[in-house]
Structure 1
Amino acid sequence: MSSYSRRCGAAIVLTAALLAGCSGGEQGQQKGGAGRSGQPGQGTPEVGFVVVRPTSAALTSELSGRTAAFESSDVRPQVNGIIRRRFFTEGSLVRQGQPLYEIDPRVYRAAVNEARANVLSAQANAEATRIQAERYRPLAQIEAVSKQELTNAIAQARQASASVAQTNAQLQTARVNLGFTTVPAPITGRIGRSLFTVGALVSASQTDPLAQIQRLDPMFVDIQQSANDLLSLRRALSSDGLVPTRAVVRLKLGDGSDYGQTGTVEFSEAVVDQATGTVTLRARFPNPQGLLLPGMFVRASFAQAINTRAFLVPQQAVTRDPKGNATVMVVGPGDKAVQRTVTAQRVQGPYWVVTAGLKEGDRVITQGLSKLRAGQGIKPVPANQNQQIAPPQGDGKGGGSGGSEGGQSSGQSKAG
């Protein structure tokens, strides 16, 4: 190798060494500068918390139900005969006592006339026997007639009087049957279709009604609740924390819309359905517009009790572990994050209703949870306050860029 080649090689090696040294120095300066400036993420993270205190939360249930008419009555004939006329329009509103059908009254009118004649005959016979008994009385005293004849005359007079009462009762029965030939509305409500037409033969013993009337305002909603859930509720009411309340019921119709009116629970049946294992709760709803019809399926939500020792925790503070248990992060001793397992089975607006796992005064972390770990040191501040990030204290050498970055972070936090 010539001397020229050796000199070129040495120059290349020397240049590479100088470049490596400069690079190492710059990296050292950058590392040192980063350590002094304190880039975000290497310090203690700030988290927002809320202080929880016990409050009242309604124990709300959402159950399926079915609507039922407030009053329902079958229109039935009470005498036999042919329908002569119909006085109503199907589907219209009828009033109690309003005539609906007329059954041929001729046979029953004749029965009234016959019973009236029987009464007159019985009254005449009673008068004759009474006069005869009165005539026999003085004759028996002078022994013109025997005492037995007087006794028989008095008995016949009494029988004739009883016959008058009997025929009067028969006349009253005939008049009642004549009145039954006009079939009135038993209740006020909306009448359905007529199941029998004019000219049809009806009888008092038939199984099918002539029509059906239903009162639709107000309306009943029969709600089915599991007997086990009702038993758990009653046991909980006997313990501390739960108090009963008058249930205000809200309905969700079959199309998913909310029914504008609210109702109240009237009563709970004392019998469990053996087929379904449920207990029926009956609620009453106003229905002025006739939107609810009998037989509709609805969803009813109502509060059966109030928990006076529940905690309302913002939903963003509650997470679920792999087993599905609800957990929250709280500010623990020494300003360290502590994970708590809580009982949160339902929501109320923007909050989870926590019934176990927290105590009064706990500081539940609601902000800064994305990278927070249990046991990590934190800087707790009240939630929704602007975080104040101070700019790094540099020595004036190359600290201009670090100060600019710190000021930008503070501005973003305040904006957030």
Structure 2
Amino acid sequence: MFVTKSFRYSFIFLLSLTVFGCSEQAELDIRPAQSVHVDTLTLEPSTLRLTTELPGRITAFKEAEVRPQITGIIQSRLYQEGGYVEAGDVLFQIDPTTYQSTVNSAEAQLNKALSSQQIAQKEVKRYANLLKKKLTSQQLYDEADSTYLQAKAEVAIRQAELDYANIELSYTQIKAPISGQAGFSLVSEGSLLTAGQSDYITTIIQTDNVYVDMKQSSVSLYKLQQEFRTMINQRPIVPVSITLEDGTTYNEEGRLEFADTQVEGSTGTVTLRAIIPNPDNALLAGMYVRAYISMPEARDYLVIPQSSVVRSQSGIPSVYVVNQDNIIVKKTIVLSNEVGNGWVVKEGLEAGDKVVLNNLMNVKNNLSVIIDSDKKSNQKSDTEDSIKSDNSVSNSPEQD
């Protein structure tokens, strides 16, 4: 009996606690949800001149590998290693003794042939006079004329031999084929050189201008060409600027020269080549740089802060926009280029859209919000800002 009463009292106590807890939960459920406060950015177009950023490598404008054209012993080196040489300057002198002897012999043979030609010429003239007076036969005249023609041919042969001997003699002076900076000498006095050897003996590099070779995907190149399609008949000058490996901006601006006509099958890229002035020889062949290809003109673009972009699990970018009724609308966007701390929006937004800047973890689609502050994006400006392109993998929001 005592146990029954105790159980009854315990049951009544627990029931009262349950009813009290339910009443508290009901009170919590009927409390109004707190409004989410956000800051927004009203989009307005910014005038920018976009650039495409590509990795590049410096190559020499002209580079000549100097090799001997005859066999001989080097007598002397006549240039300063690392110095500037003009086209035609003598770099090395090969011992000319044997080649001078060949020239002398060819001259003697030519003089002998000239003497024979003169004799044959006089003889054919005599036979011609005798033939007019009918004092000789036609056969003897023809033989004299043939001898004269053979003598003329012999003179031509000996002249060609002399010319060739003089050419070989001139090759004993190894001259600079182009103007530029001469490299290290790979031979010294007394070294034996052979005609047609594969090893070069020095190099000359012309560096007043240098090339910048870049790699661009074929799809991106097509898009770049479309930017210039309205200027195709004008052969537009495409400006190219570069920065060095440490981020230093090079103070000379170049231009895009051409694009290769074939796509590399293994990488799907096309080689672009630009020419950059290098008056101080600051750019050396083999250096790696970042090249920036400017678009043909400044245009209006919508730019949003990078912090306002959210991405799905698959990496698709989107932003939250507040409509006229202060309701959140999630919009999927297509990003283009990076501008400082912002992205250029290619598709998905329009001028006047209010993009949510903060409290992104607490907002969702169709949620009513309160705008604490609203600011406008940059006004239109004639200033042409250089930007980083999405062609750089590290900066690219999407792949072509």
TM-score (norm 1): 0.72
Per the alignment, residue 170 of structure 2 pairs with 179
The residue that corresponds to 1:287 in the other structure is 278
Indicate whether 1:52 and 2:50 are aligned. Answer: no
* Deviation string, structure 1 residues 85-118 (Cα, Å, up to 9, x no partner): 1111222222211111111111121222222222
Tell me which residue corresponds to 1:358: 349
Q: 1:253-275, CA deviations, whole angstroms, 9 ceiling, x for partnerless residues?
A: 34454444333221111022334
Tell me the residue number matched to 1:405.
none
Q: Which runs of 5+ in 1 are unaligned?
A: 1-40, 385-416
Does structure 1 retain, via aligned residues, the 8 Å contact 2:207–2:281?
Answer: yes
Change beyond 3 A, Cα 1:44–1:98: closer
* Aligned 8 A contact 1:226 1:277 in 2: yes
Deviation per CA, 1:237-260: give whole Å up to 9, x if none: 779xxxx97543343434454444
Q: Among all aligned residue pairs of Structure 1 and Structure 2, give the percentage whose two residues are the same amino acid.
A: 34
Q: For residues 77-92 of structure 1, what are the structure 2 equivalents within 5 Å?
A: 77-92=68-83
Indicate whether 1:107 and 2:98 are aligned.
yes
Question: 3-state DSSP class of the match of 1:378?
Answer: strand
Give the distance between the partners of 2:255 and 2:132, measured in 1 at CA.
Answer: 81
1:320 counterpart = 2:311: yes
Structure 1 residues 321 and 135 mapped into 2: Cα distance closer, same or farther (>3 Å)? closer
Determine helix, strand or coil for the equivalent of 2:119. helix
Q: How many residues align?
A: 342
How far 1:276 moved relative to its partner? 3.5
User: Which residue number corresponds to residue 413 of structure 1?
Assistant: none
Alpha-carbon separation, structure 2, partners of 1:251 and 1:377:
46
**Shift in Å at residue 222 of structure 1?**
1.1
Question: Residue 79 of structure 1 aligns to a residue in which SS?
Answer: coil
Partner of 1:399: none
Contact in 2 for aligned 1:54/1:311 (Cα 8 Å):
yes
What residue number does 2:201 align with? 210
- In the other structure, the counterpart of 1:133 is 124
- Output one character per residue of 1:25-82: Cα deviation in whole Å (capped at 9) or x when no partner: xxxxxxxxxxxxxxxx967857443233475552x43333222111100112122211
Q: CA deviation at 1:123?
A: 1.7
5 Å-filtered alignment, 1:153-172, equals 153-172=144-163
CA distance in 1, matches of 2:371, 2:175: 81
Structure 2: gaps (5+ residues):
1-32, 377-400
Cα pair distance change 1:313/1:189, threshold 3 Å: same
Rounded to whole Å, the distance in 2 between the matches of 1:274 and 1:51 is: 42
Q: Post-superposition shift, 1:187? A: 0.9
Judge which range, 96-105 or 63-72, deviates more.
63-72
The residue type paired with residue 118 of structure 2 is E
Q: What amino acid sits opposite 2:102 in the alignment?
A: A
Give 1:389's aligned residue.
Answer: none
Residues 1:146 and 2:137 are matched in the alignment: yes
1:285/1:54 CA distance change after superposition, 3 Å: closer
Q: Please tell me the residue identity of whatever aligns with 1:329.
A: Y
SS of the residue corresponding to residue 280 of structure 2 reads coil
Higher relative contact order (CA 8 A, sep 6+): 2
Task: Choose 361-370 or 292-301, whichever is displaced more.
Answer: 361-370
TM-score norm. by structure 2 comes to 0.74
Provide the C-alpha distance between the structure 2 equivalents of 1:268 and 1:101, rounded to a whole number of angstroms. 39
* Residue 56 of structure 2 is aligned to residue 65 of structure 1: yes
Within 2, Cα distance between the matches of 1:44 and 1:91?
70
User: In the alignment, does 2:370 pair up with 1:378?
Assistant: yes
CA displacement, residues 163-201 of structure 1 (integer Å, 9 cap, x when unaligned): 223322222222222111111111111111112211112
Does 2:65 correspond to 1:74?
yes
Contact in 2 for aligned 1:140/1:147 (Cα 8 Å) = yes
Secondary structure of the equivalent of 1:83?
strand
- Residue 322 (structure 2) aligned to one of 300, 314, 331: 331
Residue among 298, 301, 310 paired with 2:289: 298
Distance 1:289 1:238, change over 3 A: closer
**RMSD between superposed Cα atoms in Å:** 3.3
Task: Name which of 234, 240, 248 aligns with 1:249.
Answer: 240
Q: Which residue matches 1:262?
A: 253
Alignment-mate amino acid for residue 153 of structure 2: A
Shift, 1:315, TM fit: 3.4
What is residue 85 of structure 2 aligned with on the other side?
A: 94
User: 1:314–1:110: structure 2 CA closer, same or farther, 3 Å change rule?
Assistant: same
Structure 1 residue 360 displacement after superposition = 3.2
For 2:214, the aligned partner's letter is I
